[in-house]
Amino acid sequence: MPTSVVPIFRIFDYQKAVEFYIDWLGFKIDWEHKFDENSPIYMQVSRDGIVLHLSEHHGDCAPGSKAFITIDDVRSLHKEISAKEYKYNRPGLEQAFWNAPCFEVIDPFSNKLLITEKSKDDN
């Protein structure tokens, strides 16, 4: 039975969200929704099978949430985003206690993405 989980992160500034998720992390905007011009935005971004919802709506979620994301090649993604020299976030690459490389990024709204690989012990 296929399942999926899509984290919802609270955002407060559309342009800052685009700068972080699209310009720096390399996600793409799949769709955006507003009830009218003066309404908050709700949007979906994705990259390589990772899907996130970003919401300006009060009450959808709390800022400061965290998603644990497992990918195939952490070092490659870390190198890619480090080369862009985003001035607000320069994550270091670490070896996690679960025996896999990882790094964490924090968006402009205090949401965290912990990006890692599957544990080497799980093979």
- The fold of 8-122 is 2,3-Dihydroxybiphenyl 1,2-Dioxygenase; domain 1 (3.10.180)
Least Cα distance to 64 among 116, 14, 113 occurs for 113
pLDDT digits (tens, 9 = 90+) for 40-75: 999 999 999 999 999 999 888 888 999 999 999 999
Structure tokens at 23: 């310009």
Q: Report how far residue 6's alpha carbon sits from residue 20's, in angstroms, rounded to the nearest whole number.
A: 18
Domain limits of the chain?
8-122
Q: Give the pLDDT band (50/70/90) at residue 3.
A: confident
For the segment 74-93, what is each residue's pLDDT rounded down to a tens digit? 999 999 999 998 999 999 99
- pLDDT score for 86: 92
Q: How far apart are the first and last CA of the chain?
A: 23
